[in-house]
């Protein structure tokens, strides 16, 4: 707009100059003797035109300087558009839903123990321990001496009492031989019976101080907490004897309540599987059984090989429930949110949530009852 105004002003000045020149020529030719008034008017117009021309010239000069000054500034760099980055393609790891078998089972290990055992202890009296005469692993016969209490001079007292008994019998025979009356013979006989009873009492005390095995077997426990000279109470177990020919597998775990009498159990011994049967559980242990028997499972193994010894271990497997030809997924793929169970499936390349109904559950697998068909892709990651 400013340039258009400038060109318009310049053209106007040129036109005015041209008109004035033409008019001056006509005045000189037509009327060289024009009036003074006309001459002054023309001079006034000439000054106005000159002033207007100088103003336009100044503006033109300013414009040229302004335009040329733009070249003194550094050239602006062209702003490049940011490169377009295509988002990476989203991929998922999937697994196809398949049918299979899911089992809820208990696995663990147990050890073989003898079902015929006897804890040996003093029943009638306590006392200072004279000694324990067996050690772990010893083979014992019924009646063998296991331990003794210190009896002091009890044996000597027995010998003295034997003499007293003989004296009493001799006196009785003397009274009888001399023809003593009934009263004298009766008193003499009472002395014989009294001496005999005292001897029997001393001999019983001696026998009660000796601990004998009541069965044949192997020593599987010795109480090493008592030493010679220590006081031993009645019913304090000193030794345990077990029959190594009568063995059962013993198991104990947090899931003992799942075992029921008569259940079949697979027992694995050295890569060979044997059939077993639950014969004792905590639910059917007698009330008066020892505390260590109230939290164990006993399993009878059929065809137990002879080389199996007490203390040997074996693996057990008890199948509690089994479902065949059902859709089975790893337990980790089933998500749970506020009671809602669902899986992530891939449909047409898109991730979607799918509600499912589950059936049998194990520690690692779940049965899908509803919500998922065989062959559908389940997102694993």
Per-residue pLDDT of the chain (381 residues; tens, 9 = 90+): 444 544 545 455 445 444 444 444 444 444 444 455 555 455 555 555 555 656 656 666 665 555 555 444 555 666 676 777 777 778 889 999 999 999 998 999 999 999 888 999 999 999 999 999 999 989 999 999 999 999 999 999 999 999 999 999 999 999 888 888 888 889 999 999 999 999 999 999 999 999 999 999 999 899 999 999 999 999 999 999 999 889 999 999 888 888 999 999 999 998 899 999 999 998 888 777 777 778 899 999 999 988 999 889 999 999 999 999 999 999 999 999 998 999 999 998 899 999 999 999 988 999 999 999 999 999 998
Q: Which candidate, 198, 200, 178, places its Cα nearest to that of 188?
A: 178
Q: Please tell me whether residue 199 adopts helix, strand or coil conformation.
A: helix
Q: Please tell me whether residue 9 adopts helix, strand or coil conformation.
A: helix
Q: Which residues pair with 101 in a beta bridge?
A: none
What does pTM read for this prediction?
Answer: 0.57
**Dihedral (CA of 255, 256, 262, 266) sign:** positive
Phi-psi region of 326 (alpha: psi -120 to 50; beta: other; left: phi over 0): beta
Cβ atoms < 10 Å from Cβ of 63: 13
What distance in Å separates the CA atoms of residue 113 and residue 135, rounded to the nearest whole number? 18
Greatest distance between any 2 Cα atoms in the chain: 224
From residue 33, how far is each of 25, 36, 38, 277 by CA, in Å? 13, 9, 11, 156
Structural element, H or E, at residue 169: helix 154-177
- Residues near 207 by Cβ (< 8 Å), separated by ≥ 6? none
Q: Which candidate, 127, 114, 136, places its Cα nearest to that of 211?
A: 127
To which residue do tokens 């007292």 refer? 157
């Amino acid at each position: 707009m400013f340039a258009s105004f400038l060109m318009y002003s310049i053209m106007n000045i040129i036109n005015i100059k041209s008109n004035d020149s033409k008019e001056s020529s006509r005045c000189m030719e037509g009327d060289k003797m024009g009036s003074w008034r006309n001459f002054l008017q023309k001079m006034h117009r000439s000054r106005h035109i000159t002033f207007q021309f100088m103003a336009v010239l100044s503006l033109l000069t300013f414009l040229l300087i302004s335009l040329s000054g733009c070249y003194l500034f550094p050239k602006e760099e062209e702003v490049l558009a940011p490169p377009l980055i295509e988002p990476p393609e989203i991929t998922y790891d999937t697994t196809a839903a398949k049918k299979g078998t899911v089992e809820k089972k208990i696995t663990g290990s147990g050890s073989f123990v003898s079902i015929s055992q006897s804890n040996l202890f003093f029943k009638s009296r306590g006392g200072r321990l004279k000694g324990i005469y067996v050690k772990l692993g010893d083979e014992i016969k019924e009646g063998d001496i296991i331990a003794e209490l210190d009896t002091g001079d009890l044996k000597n007292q027995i010998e003295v009492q034997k003499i007293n008994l003989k004296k009493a019998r001799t006196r009785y025979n003397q009274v009888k031989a001399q023809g003593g009356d009934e009263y004298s013979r009766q008193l003499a006989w009472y002395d014989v019976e009294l001496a005999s009873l005292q001897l029997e009492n001393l001999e019983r005390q001696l026998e009660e101080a000796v601990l004998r095995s009541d069965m044949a077997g192997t020593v599987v426990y010795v109480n090493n907490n008592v030493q010679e000279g220590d006081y031993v109470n009645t019913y304090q177990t000193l030794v345990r004897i077990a029959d190594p020919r009568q063995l059962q597998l013993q198991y104990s775990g947090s899931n003992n309540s799942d075992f029921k009498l008569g259940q079949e159990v697979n027992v694995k011994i050295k890569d060979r599987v044997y059939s077993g049967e639950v014969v004792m559980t905590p639910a059917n242990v007698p009330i008066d059984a020892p505390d260590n028997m109230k939290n164990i499972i006993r399993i009878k193994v059929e065809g137990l090989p002879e080389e199996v010894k007490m203390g040997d271990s074996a693996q057990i497997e008890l199948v509690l429930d089994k479902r065949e030809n059902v859709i089975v997924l790893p337990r980790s793929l089933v998500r749970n949110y506020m009671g809602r169970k669902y899986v992530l499936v891939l449909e047409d390349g898109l991730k979607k949530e799918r509600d499912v109904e589950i059936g049998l559950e194990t520690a690692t697998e779940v049965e899908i009852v509803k919500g998922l068909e065989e062959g559908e892709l389940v997102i694993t990651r």
